[in-house]
Amino acid sequence: MRTYESVFIIRPEVAEADVDALVEALQQAVTGAGGQVVKVDKWGKRLLAYRISSQREGFFVLFELTGGGEALRELERRLKVTEPVLKFFSVRVDLERKKVEKLRHRREHRAARRQRAGAGGAAKATANA
């Protein structure tokens, strides 16, 4: 199973109840396509770096989902045809997380090895004295 993060921006004049309904509909679309929404994070209204469709701010929402490419394609298809959505961006994050975990494991292993070598060296120094 692959893990994706998808951020999308909704028009700022959309009511909070409509945003909740849209998020719920998108979650059901992902689960219907064989995926699973792991996390939904509503960031709220924020200023945009540049104007998008003559809008200066937007309502940001982050989806973290797992599943095959079909679930992501369905989510992106729905985002394209949904009127209040200004922009969206999806990224595969499972490979990056795997790399970070591997580096963390290596650091821990090296630190443990240094600690054992340092403790062993100190014991030999006191024995020789």
CATH of the domain at 11: 3.30.70.60
Phi/psi of residue 97, nearest 5 degrees: -65, -35
Both tokens of residue 36?
């699973």
Determine the average pLDDT of the residues in 42-55: 93
Count of the separate structural domains present in the chain: 1
- In this structure, is residue 126 part of a structural domain? no
Res. 96 pLDDT band, cuts 50 70 90: confident
Q: Count of H helices and E strands in the chain?
A: 3, 4
- In this structure, is residue 116 part of a structural domain? no
> How far apart are the C-alpha atoms of 83 and 118, rounded to whole Å?
63
pLDDT at 51 over 60: yes
Question: Among 22-31, 62-71, 76-85, 96-105, which stretch is predicted with the lowest mean pLDDT?
Answer: 96-105
**According to the model, what pLDDT value does residue 109 have?**
87
Q: What is the mean pLDDT of the chain?
A: 89
Note the Cα 31 to chain centre separation in Å: 17
pLDDT at 128 over 80: no
**Domain membership of residue 12 as a residue range:** 2-92
Report yes or no: 32 and 77 within 8 Å, Cβ to Cβ: no
Nearest Cα to Cα of residue 26 among 77, 101, 67, 90: 77
pLDDT at 6 over 90: yes
- In this structure, is residue 71 part of a structural domain? yes
